[in-house]
């Protein structure tokens, strides 16, 4: 579980960093452009990953247990 916990912390940190960077750049994007769509999809993926990290942490699922 120790390896899983450290990997989940790393993934959480990277996703928070991406969301912070997107929050700063989002006001300068024009709706309907490719950059806007890419930023929206990236934000959706980051939020999905944060939810997944939360679920794995809450239920203490050891994803590296068999290795």
46 domain-assigned: yes
pLDDT for the residue 63: 87
Range of the domain at 27: 2-58
43 domain-assigned: yes
pLDDT for the residue 39: 96
pLDDT for the residue 2: 82
35 domain-assigned: yes
pLDDT digits (tens, 9 = 90+) for 1-54: 788 999 999 999 999 999 999 999 999 999 999 999 999 999 999 999 999 999
66 domain-assigned: no
65 — pLDDT class (breaks 50, 70, 90): confident
What's the domain count of the chain? 1
28 domain-assigned: yes
> What one-character-per-residue DSSP string does 4-54 give?
HHHHHHHHHHHHHHHHHHHHHHGGGSPTTSHHHHHHHHHHHHHHHHHHHHH
pLDDT for the residue 67: 63
């Amino acid at each position: 579980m120790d390896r899983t916990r450290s990997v989940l912390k790393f993934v959480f940190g990277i996703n928070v960093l991406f969301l912070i960077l997107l929050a700063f750049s989002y006001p300068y994007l024009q709706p309907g452009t490719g950059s806007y769509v890419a930023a929206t999809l990236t934000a959706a993926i980051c939020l999905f990953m944060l939810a997944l990290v939360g679920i794995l942490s809450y239920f203490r699922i050891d994803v590296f247990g068999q290795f």
